[in-house]
A and B are shown apart, each in its own frame.
Chain A
Amino acid sequence: MEVMNDWATASAEATSPAGASLLRVTVWRGGADGKFQEFRVPRRESQTVLDVVTYIQRNVDPTLAYRFACRVGMCGSCAMTVNGVPRWTCRMHVDRVAIAGRLEIAPLANMPVVRDLVADMREFFDKWARAKGRFKPSATRTDDFAKVSPQSRPRREADAGIECIGCGVCYAACDIVKWNRDYLGPAALNRAWTLVNDMRDAGSRERLVAVSGDAGCHGCHTLGSCTELCPKSLSPTRSIAGLKRATCAIAFGGEEGGE
């Protein structure tokens, strides 16, 4: 991969006529029935994919729609499909993803297109709610602080998944989401797993039922695309495996399992 990208960068520079090399960038325009439009963007040092998109909007076509906020990998709003692979764009250097000086930038897969590079993330976040990804307190403000040992196994399990920024890269990369529209997806299940491991939470009974079945953790075939592509290097695959173990009680009749 590194070798190919080095070659790609060199190739882009070689084709430049006047010293300032150019990237050939094709960008998705319009809605679901849109098409790709090509742009030439000057190559810069340490340039990110978001820099490329921003250059196009500010200098070539101000009607280009895309989404970003923090630019430092915290907010999770700028994910797009770059050369066929879902990526966060604000911290993804062009060096790492350009192939022969070319970039193809499209909205995230597995979500409806709003316009250009903006995907509709409503269903993605609705599934967090369906996975009962909301903290349900077990104590009141009059109770003492909960004391959670940093070394305890549940705390370490929650730590491993807690840094999710909700960018949707895992959801766009997941084949099960593509095959089963009801599947909750890696991010929502990962969120559920962090809450199952939160000793202050009182909602895990209903949560484990909500994340069971074909649309939940049992639908995962551990293909691992989510874990491979997560920009925060989390492992939703591991979290989902944890949920599968935790839901065994449902199979044995220990929990109420409705439709």
Chain B
Amino acid sequence: MSVRTEARLWLAQRVTAAILAVCVVVHLITIIYAVRGGLSAGDILGRTRGSIAWGSFYAVFVFAAAIHAAIGLRTVAAEWLRFRGAAAAWTMIAIALVLAFMGLRAVFAVVAT
């Protein structure tokens, strides 16, 4: 893999980590705030259904997690399992796509009206 690609992956890892740091904090605060008066599916859906803001927030969260996890797993696979090269790169891309698909499907389920 070219030096430029490696440098880009490293930068993407750092940028997505910064995004995740914000997203996780917002997510946790929302959970703590939302369960104060008990928790029900109706409450959650009432907040998220049709909400472009929550939909966008969780879509960003999903993409950041998918990219961050795939790059991290690629490094773990290379160093601990000695799984490197093109096969490892394609596996990483597949994992990112699966994570993004599953995440977006969940976002769609709570946002769609």
Contacts and interface: CB of A to CB of B under 8 A. Distances in A.
Nearest to B6: A213
A257 B5 CA distance: 8
Nearest to A253: B4
Interface of A: 176, 179-180, 209, 212-214, 216, 218, 244, 247-248, 250-251, 253, 255, 257-259
Q: B-side binding surface: helix, strand, loop or mixed?
A: helix
Contacts, number: 48
Q: What class of interface size applies to chain B in its complex with A?
A: 10 to 19
A251 B10 contact: yes
B3 interface: yes
B47 interface: no
A180 B3 CA distance: 16
A259 B4 CA distance: 9
B79 A257 contact: no
Contact of B4 (A214, A244, A251): A251
Interface string B73-111: 001001110000000000000000000000000000000
B11 A248 contact: yes
A180 B6 contact: no
B78 A213 contact: no
A213 B3 contact: yes
Contact of A180 (B1, B10, B11, B79): B79
B7 interface: yes
Of A179, A218, A248, A253, the most chain B CB neighbours within 10 A belong to A218
B7 A212 contact: yes
Nearest to B11: A251
B2 A259 contact: yes
